[in-house]
Amino acid sequence: MNIIIVKDNQEAGEIAAEMIAEKISKNPKLVLGLATGSTPVSTYETLIKMYKNKKVDFSQVKSFNLDEYKDLQPTHEQSYRYFMNTKLFDHININHNWTFVPSGTDTKNPETYDLEIEKAGGIDLQLLGLGVNGHIGFNEPGTKFDSKTAVVDLTPSTIQINARFFDSPAEVPTQAVSMGLASIMNSKEIILIATGANKAEAIYHLVHGKVSEQWPCSILQNHENVTIIVDQEAAKLLESN
């Protein structure tokens, strides 16, 4: 596992964006796996700047997002489809028909999402954030390592953390559709970004912990091409730090 320690989320975003742009320049038809949440916003802002400066061309890129809240319409301001459109896709030259986000409203056969990914040739580069409890995607503690895309329950702590984006507690979704841990592990390369002291325990388990379903992120120890980009605060429990 390659570990890059940076000063803050902005620098993490700049490094991740450079890595993504370099991959696209080598393979213009890159299949990108994307994340939402507050962590990757600086990555997306940097990618938009690079696109405007003609440093990256998304015209042949396909993207697959990790997850979507169950029952939120794509037009809902807190849906992850809306997030991706407004924070990235509307500002770059990606073909919108090639941007995939799991459906939160048609949830009868969520596993077809994995087939779509396979049809596209698999994910070349997956960008991940990290939950305080170690979730990746919305795969909460206890999720089976062989899980594929499915409707998942969010834990009370995740629901509470997500509540900051909603007007009232009753509106906060309690379920999501998420790529599974096996789906994520199928990606050829993974970049995970985590910043802030509240991610330090999960980063410890990701890097040094026992590989266990209690810390879903620990599965990444079994992947051969993972880079984690962390700030000093998120890295504070790492043994070499």
- Helices 41-52 and 9-26 cross at an angle (nearest 10°) of 50
Please count the residues of this chain forming the interface with ligand F6R, following the rule CB under 6 A.
14
Q: Does residue 205 bind ligand F6R (CB under 6 A)?
A: no
Which range touches ligand F6R (CB under 6 A), out of 5-13, 53-61, 133-141, 215-223?
Answer: 133-141
Nearer to ligand F6R, 57 or 189 (CB): 189
CB of 190 to ligand F6R, least distance (A): 13
Nearer to ligand F6R, 39 or 61 (CB): 39
Please select the residue that binds ligand F6R; options are 14, 67, 114, 231, rule is CB under 6 A: 67
Q: Does residue 220 bind ligand F6R (CB under 6 A)?
A: no
Which range touches ligand F6R (CB under 6 A), out of 132-140, 181-189, 208-216, 220-228?
Answer: 132-140
Using an 8 Å Cβ cutoff, are 7 and 234 in contact?
no
The closest residue (CB) to ligand F6R is 129
Tokens, residue 152: 């998942």
Q: Does residue 202 bind ligand F6R (CB under 6 A)?
A: no
Nearer to ligand F6R, 55 or 236 (CB): 236
Q: Could you write out the three-class secondary structure of the chain?
A: CEEEEECCHHHHHHHHHHHHHHHHHHCCCCEEEECCCCCCHHHHHHHHHHHHCCCCCCCCCEEEECEEECCCCCCCCCCHHHHHHHHCHHHCCCCHHHEECCCCCCCCCCCHHHHHHHHCCCCCEEEECCCCCCCECCECCCCCCCCCCEEEECCHHHHHHHHHHCCCHHHCCCEEEECCHHHHHCCCEEEEEECCHHHHHHHHHHHCCCCCCCCHHHHHHHCCCEEEEEECCCCCCCCCC
Q: Does residue 63 bind ligand F6R (CB under 6 A)?
A: no
**Distance spanning both ends of the chain, measured CA to CA:** 15
CB of 49 to ligand F6R, least distance (A): 20
Which range touches ligand F6R (CB under 6 A), out of 3-11, 56-64, 127-135, 213-221?
Answer: 127-135
Please select the residue that binds ligand F6R; options are 81, 87, 135, 205, rule is CB under 6 A: 135
User: Can you tell me the distance from the alpha carbon of 166 to that of 151, in angstroms, rounded to the nearest whole number?
Assistant: 21
Q: Does residue 230 bind ligand F6R (CB under 6 A)?
A: no
Q: Does residue 35 bind ligand F6R (CB under 6 A)?
A: yes
Q: Does residue 68 bind ligand F6R (CB under 6 A)?
A: no
Show which residues are catalytic: 67, 133, 135, 140
Instruction: Tell me which residues touch ligand F6R (CB under 6 A).
Output: 35-39, 66-67, 129-131, 135-138
